[in-house]
Amino acid sequence: MKQILIVDDNIDNRRDTQSRLDDDFQVAFAESGGQAVQICSKIKPDIVLMEAAMPQMDGFETLARLRERFSPEQLPVIFYTAHADPEIERKAFEAGAADFITKPCSKAAFTHRVNLQYRLAQQQTHLENAIKHLEDSITLFSDMIEFRDESIGGHAQRTTAYTGLLTGELLREGAFADELSQETAEMIERAAPLHDVGKIGIRDVILLKPALLDDEEFGIVKSHTSIGGKILRYMYASSSQPYLEYAIKIAEEHHERFDGKGYPARRRGNEISLCARIVSLADVYDALTDTRTYKKPMSYADACRVITTGAGHQFDPVIVRAFNAVKPAFWKIAQTGGAGLAPSYIQASLRAGGPDF
């Protein structure tokens, strides 16, 4: 049953509006804007039909209150009013109204427009669910790699947390201002855990070898960059999620080096995407400080030295500078093993500081 909330201070208007709806609408009423906000906070209807002119809280204020909680896609609000002029209509659409129906309006046109908004909202919900499902699959994908290789458990989470520290510091410094904004930083953080997704295509006998790899084996491992790129391009083609564009670049370029001696394309400097330059440092820091099947973890002090001396060689010097500003928080994260990392934890780490090496 489709649920609709009719908001109007006039009882005759409420009844008239109800009489115009199909029988498959389950109708609730609100006599004021305040009551509408209350009802929606308890049970969100599928759609709201609202008078613009009401005493105390008018339709515009009510809509603004609803928009604090629900996006236009989550809760379409249609104004249905006799008080109309082009300026009011403009204001309504600007405030996020889904439609503006002026009385008098034929029953056929009224029903059509209400049903249209209902269907659009349903389709949006289906799309959001499908995207969420796809994202869950992608996360599962990166988790699967870690399940295969117990020695890298938590690597994706820690690399993501380190990436968040670096982008946070770069934003604070105003570095790469033409490329890095709060929005892009969030997308880079979402994309970071997928950087090694291509390892799914590497044979266990090589991926899990408890010793250093020979040249041929290393060549095969290197292909996880292009395999990851292919997988993520395929996912991007079916979902068009913007953060997957970053994920593709990160997967393909996170083993490139600033001096052009990395792989697979030997890109150098700014030829390497900023997101990949950031994740590269985060990835290497974790590889250095974590245990692997073939090596013991490096101390915090030694890892910091490796990163710092890598400025201009392996890493972008601006990103190394950001690392040095927040490295105590890197140390804190490494202590947790990467389980259950959350932004609040990272904030706490920053406040608490780390060892003074």
Q: How far is the CB of 20 from Fe ion (least distance, A)?
A: 59
Contact between 146 and Fe ion (CB under 5 A)? no
CB atoms < 10 A from the CB of 184, how many? 18
Is there a contact between 4 and 28 (Cβ–Cβ < 8 Å)? yes
Query: To 5 degrees, how large is the angle CA 242–CA 346–CA 324?
Result: 90
| For Fe ion, the closer CB: 84 or 200 | 200
Contact between 189 and Fe ion (CB under 5 A)? no
Binding residues for Fe ion, how many (CB under 5 A)?
A: 2
Q: How far is the CB of 293 from Fe ion (least distance, A)?
A: 14
CA separation, residue 67 to residues 76, 117, 173 (Å): 10, 17, 33
| For Fe ion, the closer CB: 99 or 196 | 196
| For Fe ion, the closer CB: 4 or 341 | 341
Element housing 100 (H / E):
strand 99-102
Element housing 218 (H / E):
helix 215-222
Site map for Fe ion, 262-301, x if CB under 5 A?
Answer: ---------------------x------------------
Whole-number Å distance between alpha carbons of 78 and 254: 48
Q: Give the 3-state secondary structure of residue 256.
A: coil
Which span (57-65, 188-196, 257-265, 302-310) binds Fe ion, by CB under 5 A?
188-196
Q: Which of 245, 279, 280, 278 is nearest to 261 (CA)?
A: 280
CA separation, residue 213 to residues 9, 25, 45, 132, 197 (Å): 76, 66, 59, 38, 20
Which span (141-149, 192-200, 296-304, 311-319) binds Fe ion, by CB under 5 A?
192-200
| For Fe ion, the closer CB: 33 or 198 | 198
The one among 9, 51, 189, 196 contacting Fe ion by CB under 5 A: 196
Q: How far is the CB of 279 from Fe ion (least distance, A)?
A: 8
Q: How far is the CB of 230 from Fe ion (least distance, A)?
A: 15
| Token digits of residue 200 | 């799914």
| For Fe ion, the closer CB: 37 or 288 | 288
Whole-number Å distance between alpha carbons of 113 and 100: 10
Site map for Fe ion, 225-264, x if CB under 5 A?
Answer: ----------------------------------------
Positions that interact with Fe ion (CB under 5 A): 196, 283
